[in-house]
Amino acid sequence: MRESKNIRHESELVHLFGQLVRDEKDLPWQPNPVASEGAPSGVALNFDDRRLQFRPRFALVPDANEVIRLTAEEKEQTLFVVPRLNPAFLDVCRKHRVSVVDLNGRTFIRAPGVWIERGPLPGREYRFELEPRNVFVGKSVRIVRTLLTDPQRLWAQSEITRRTGASSGLVSRITTHLLRQGLLRKVDARRFHVVSPSLLLDAWVNSDEFGRRAATQRYSALISDPVQLAKKLRNDLTHAPDAPLFAFTQWIAAWLRHPYTEPPIVSAYISRLPAPEQLERLGLRPVNEAGRVWLHVPTDEGVFLERRTVENLPLVTDAQIYLDLVKTGLRGPEQAQALREWDGFCRP
């Protein structure tokens, strides 16, 4: 049976943590006497002849800066308790040797000579009600995509708003969320930068489901050379009446950015599929499997907002290419990794 609940108040977090440590079977928690609100005033772990004593610090919205500001003595005594532990906050805790646990049972304990790390317990799904459910969908992901076009850049919220077409309120909520996670860091009152592009990209990959954000149509093609085929597509789509938006991705885009494996497929995002007369001109025929050309119609056209041109062909961003390719077959993960390890990856 799955335990699922949106946490709204710190009192709920405190109460449910008390239940967790009392019901825990795998870790030998020893709670101190229970305080009036139902949670232990402190907890301990006994390992061999050592006793680790912790003072819980409850945070509905964990803030990486709180971890960084702790003194050396506080770091050894503090146990952050959060509704749901995200990878970015966990990474900050690892770097600063600060212990943390969430209501789902995910645990990181760090003390001199002790390192304990455990994933979430099965069947538990707690989260803070006001925490964004997923910053990697809809218009929210436009913000992430733009940040990764130039991770070394100092960004202002107004620039993000202008480039993404998202509302200023949404940009504020998402950037605040990423700041608290430790994925962004402020340099002054208005500007911030990406702290760990790699961690942000990994979080995007882990949450991504391609089939939920794009519908794909496959086609056979008469032209075998992938670059020639891409250029023929560009020429026809660009000069067609009421031309659709389009941008190449996956194998062909990665090859054009940083050649590693020859592209077996030419794929592109497109705002609408070609009409039958266009398909005839292009020599394309719809097929159910395989195919030399894959056209993806995205659920959100933000994918077209950040593009670059290589060999006069429009491509999606490097981060988007990697995301679209890393979970595919046909040596896609190899090409994706080669692109990511290239010095020019996610550089303007």
For 78-105, the pLDDT digits (tens) are: 999 999 998 888 988 999 999 999 999 9
pLDDT for position 29 = 87
> Which is higher by pLDDT, 242 or 313?
313
> Which is higher by pLDDT, 284 or 180?
284
The answer to whether residue 346 sits within a structural domain is no
Instruction: Kindly report the average pLDDT of the chain as a whole number.
Output: 91
The answer to whether residue 44 sits within a structural domain is yes
Identify the domain boundary among 189, 207, 225. Answer: 207
The answer to whether residue 166 sits within a structural domain is yes
The answer to whether residue 347 sits within a structural domain is no
What is the rounded CA–CA span in Å between residue 305 and residue 218? 24
Identify the domain boundary among 102, 128, 154. Answer: 128
Mean pLDDT over 40-65 rounds to 85
pLDDT for position 235 = 94
pLDDT for position 61 = 85
pLDDT for position 341 = 97
pLDDT for position 180 = 85
Q: Within a 13 Å sphere around the CA of 27, how many CA atoms are in the beta-carbon half?
A: 24
Does residue 222 share a domain with residue 196? no
Mean pLDDT over 155-159 rounds to 96
Range among 41-45, 131-135, 182-186 with highest mean pLDDT value: 182-186
Residue 32 in tokens: 């101190």
Q: How many domains does the chain have?
A: 3
Does residue 214 share a domain with residue 332? yes
The answer to whether residue 271 sits within a structural domain is yes
Does residue 44 share a domain with residue 118? yes
Does residue 108 share a domain with residue 222? no
Does residue 152 share a domain with residue 53? no
Does residue 160 share a domain with residue 70? no
Percent of the chain at pLDDT exceeding 90? 65
Does residue 8 share a domain with residue 104? yes
Percent of the chain at pLDDT exceeding 70? 96
Does residue 115 share a domain with residue 69? yes
pLDDT above 70: residue 309: yes
pLDDT above 90: residue 146: yes
> Which is higher by pLDDT, 76 or 132?
76
Q: What is the CATH number of the domain that holds 180?
A: 1.10.10.10
Residue 57 confidence class, pLDDT cut points 50, 70, 90: very high
Does residue 161 share a domain with residue 101? no
pLDDT for position 37 = 53
pLDDT for position 40 = 64
The answer to whether residue 161 sits within a structural domain is yes
The answer to whether residue 348 sits within a structural domain is no
pLDDT above 90: residue 41: no
Residue 64 confidence class, pLDDT cut points 50, 70, 90: confident
Q: What range defines the domain where residue 96 resides? A: 3-128
pLDDT above 90: residue 154: yes
Q: What is the pLDDT of residues 7-26, one digit of tens each?
A: 888 889 998 998 888 888 88
pLDDT above 80: residue 49: no
pLDDT above 90: residue 46: no
What is the rounded CA–CA span in Å between residue 7 and residue 15? 11
What is the rounded CA–CA span in Å between residue 238 and residue 250? 20
Does residue 161 share a domain with residue 99? no
pLDDT above 90: residue 28: no
Helix-helix angle 140-147:197-207, to 10 degrees: 140
- Read off φ and ψ for residue 86, nearest 5 degrees: -90, 160
Identify the domain boundary among 128, 158, 186. Answer: 128
Mean pLDDT over 294-308 rounds to 96
Does residue 162 share a domain with residue 109? no
Q: Which run of H or of E encompasses 194?
A: strand 191-194
Helix-helix angle 318-325:250-257, to 10 degrees: 130
Amino acid at 177: H
Q: Within a 13 Å sphere around the CA of 73, how many CA atoms are in the beta-carbon half?
A: 0
> Which is higher by pLDDT, 251 or 123?
251
Among residues 302, 273, 80, 87, the alpha carbon closest in space to that of 178 is found at 87
pLDDT above 80: residue 34: no
Does residue 264 share a domain with residue 322? yes
What is the rounded CA–CA span in Å between residue 211 and residue 207? 12
The answer to whether residue 18 sits within a structural domain is yes
Residue 300 in tokens: 């959100």
Q: What is the pLDDT of residues 239-263, one digit of tens each?
A: 877 889 999 999 999 999 999 999 9
Judge if pTM exceeds 0.85: no
